Amino acid sequence: MNAVVLDTGALIAFERGDRFVASLVSEARRTKGTLTVPAGCVAQAWRNPSRQARLGTLLRMPNTDVVSMGHADARTVGLLLAETEMSDVVDGHVAVCAHRLGAMVVTSDPDDIKRLGSTLGTHRV
């Protein structure tokens, strides 16, 4: 399994039973591949834990890496947003994580991700 970053749209799609994201998660479990989730995406998607059992399970998987935005990433995201004239910090962090890992981004908004990194691979959910 190649490196994968899940954005907020992918987390929501998984919670709603999207087959593509579910198959990625199953493949990651089987191969012990890492799923990367920027912490801001969790904050955007996490709304009702009593109704988000599926998402909670995904976030607790040992091979799900929830990545915080530290000082270095914050600066990199800020520069990227200035360069692209965009303002969504969470999308910026998704792009920075994906670039660092050479990962595909599973997203509901591939156009924004492509604006933040034209070489990033995306899959729309």
Q: What is the pLDDT of residue 43?
A: 98
Query: Structure pTM?
Result: 0.96
1 has a pLDDT exceeding 80: no
Q: Average of pLDDT values for 73-87?
A: 98
Q: Is the pLDDT of residue 82 over 80?
A: yes
Domains of the chain and any CATH numbers: 4-124 (3.40.50.1010)
Buried b (16+ CB within 10 A) or exposed e, 18-42: beebeebbeebbeeeebbbbbebbb
Predicted local distance difference test score (pLDDT) of residue 17 = 96
